[in-house]
Amino acid sequence: MRRLRTLSEAECYLRCYGGADESVKVFRVERPEREEIRLTGERLRRLFEARLDLREPGLAA
């Protein structure tokens, strides 16, 4: 069976559970983007280098 278009979330719900019921609502929760969680490649590299510098000298060999 070939689909002509992608079904929306509401259409999928109707196909799975039948007619629309007023007690059920589908919504998406958007989490706010927090700047302190973002980790850039450059910051990751610096953190890795700092961790390497803290190693014991005997472990490098």
Do the domain assignments include residue 7?
no
- What is residue 60's predicted lDDT score, i.e. its pLDDT? 57
Quickly state the pLDDT bin for 3 (edges 50, 70, 90).
confident
Do the domain assignments include residue 24?
no
Do the domain assignments include residue 1?
no
pTM equals 0.34
Asked if 26 and 9 touch (Cβ cutoff 8 Å), the reply is: yes
pLDDT tens digits along 18-61: 765 677 677 788 877 666 567 788 989 999 999 998 987 776 55
Quickly state the pLDDT bin for 12 (edges 50, 70, 90).
confident
Do the domain assignments include residue 17?
no
Asked if 31 and 39 touch (Cβ cutoff 8 Å), the reply is: no
Domain range for 40 is: 33-61
> What is the number of other CB atoms lying within 10 angstroms of the CB of residue 17?
10
